[in-house]
Amino acid sequence: MKSPFISKIRECIRGKNYSIRTERTYVYWVLAYIRYHNKAHPKDMNETHIRAFLEHLAIYGNVSPNTQKTALNALVFMYRHVLQRELGDFSDFYRANGPKKLPTVLTIEEVTELFKHLRHYAFLCAALMYGSGLRVMETVRLRWQDIDFDKLSVQVREGKGRKSRITTLAEELIQPLRLHMEHVKTQYYIDKSDPSWDGVFLPNALERKYPAAPFELGWQYLFPAQNISTDPRSGKRRRHHIGEQAIQRAVKSAVRKAGIHKPASCHALRHTFATHLLERGADLRTIQEQLGHTDVRTTEIYTHVINRGGRAVISPFSNIAKATSKPW
């Protein structure tokens, strides 16, 4: 039996045009909160209950800081937008601690070897993550019209934090992308000839404002899924974008085949993009804009990456080597 309260949360999330991923995540944490408090209704609970739940996650659940933050966001959303109640101060809860890790960055040689083991759409997606600094979800959500060959740019629509930006496009990707887009266009015309096809998904009520847009080539996904599927929210038959898991698996496989012994992933390609730009003389503000960071302090972590070890610090052992003149 469906809970009317959970249905109301879903309704509210959809009314704000949040993604289905956000909907599932928020509902998950609201349900976890309710279960933790013996199925009490959230309207009967307060800041003390929220604090207890968040501390339980940190101390006994051993969750990461980001996971605890996501749970907090879900609860604040529920109280503010569903129960329409502003919460008081409960900022003194125990916060999850995680090791502060520097991002994994690949060398030019490692990136070169990695790309030797990528093919077709996986190669193009990885090339956009490394060449344009995109996140994996930003990559798979690209639309046909987001690629501008004349200006050598990529438009990212509503990336992390629902922020949009424009980033660079490598000139060397023009030809392979054009070839890929020809295949996408062919599939688009096949879909268009199918009377049961309901067009592509459009965000933020664009479909209501521009009813013809879902059927236009420019709005189709740059990396469409292999098959048409039924939208779980609307019930419409659409061709969604490829899943990010497919790209993640392809990159992980390429890392192994390339003999790279680092915890490299799709996100490592984005980190490598930023680090290599910095090494080539780009300023932090430019890199911040390319990555879509709100605060430049987030971008500053890459200065630590290029300054650690290597030639950044001269080892004191060098003094001994010079003094003794031993053939080490």
Sign of CA dihedral 49, 52, 53, 54: positive
- Which spans in the chain are helix H? 4-15, 20-36, 47-59, 65-77, 108-115, 120-132, 136-140, 174-192, 206-209, 244-257, 266-279, 284-291, 296-299, 301-307, 317-324
* Annotation says 165 is catalytic: no
Question: Which long-range CB contacts under 8 A does 214-219 form with residues at least 24 apart?
Answer: 217/144, 217/185, 217/188, 218/143, 218/144, 218/145, 219/143, 219/144, 219/145
Whether the per-residue pLDDT at 243 is higher than 80: the answer is: yes
pLDDT value for 280 = 84
- Short-list 64, 65, 75, CA closest to 26: 75
Model confidence over 255-265: pLDDT tens digits?
Answer: 999 999 999 99
pLDDT digits (tens, 9 = 90+) for 89-143: 888 888 888 766 778 889 999 999 999 999 999 999 999 999 999 999 999 999 9
Catalytic residue among 160, 183, 256, 308: 160
135 catalytic residue (yes or no): yes
d(C-alpha 30, C-alpha 59), whole Å: 19
Give CATH 1.10.150.130 domain extents, the chain.
4-82
Catalytic residue status for 271 = no
Confirm whether 293 is a catalytic residue.
Answer: yes
Return the bridge partners of 156, or none: 165
Active-site annotation holder among 26, 33, 221, 302: 302
- Token pair listed for 145: 């019209």
Q: Which of 141, 270, 271, 276 is catalytic?
A: 270
pLDDT of 35 reads 95
**What CATH number belongs to 4-82?**
1.10.150.130
Among 164-168, 218-222, 295-299, the least confident range:
295-299
How large a percentage of the chain has pLDDT more than 90?
62
CA distance 112 to 54: 43
For residue 168, which phi and psi values (nearest 5 degrees)?
A: -80, 160
Q: Is 79 a catalytic residue?
A: no
Which of 300, 317, 292 lies closest to 102 in space, CA to CA?
Answer: 300
Q: Which residue has the higher pLDDT, 208 or 155?
A: 155
Q: Helix, strand, or coil here: 238?
A: strand
Pick from 64-68, 182-186, 201-205, 270-274 the range whose average pLDDT is largest: 182-186
How confident is the model over 33-66, as pLDDT tens digits? 999 999 999 999 999 999 999 999 988 888 888 8
The token duo for 88 is 């008081």
pLDDT above 60 for 324:
no
Name the active-site residue from 143, 180, 241, 293. 293
pLDDT tens-digit map of 115-130: 999 999 999 999 999 9
> In terms of pLDDT, which residue wins out, 299 or 308?
299
| Res. 79 pLDDT band, cuts 50 70 90 | very high
Residue-averaged pLDDT of the chain:
87
Pair of tokens at residue 235: 């019930």
Residue 21 annotated among the catalytic residues of the structure: no
Q: Which residue of the set 10, 135, 143, 271 is catalytic?
A: 135
Residue 323 has pLDDT above 70, yes or no: no
DSSP class per residue in 255-311:
HHHTT--S---HHHHHHHHHHHHHHTT--HHHHHHHHT-SSHHHHTHHHHHHHSSTT
Helix axes 47-59, 20-36, angle to 10 degrees: 100
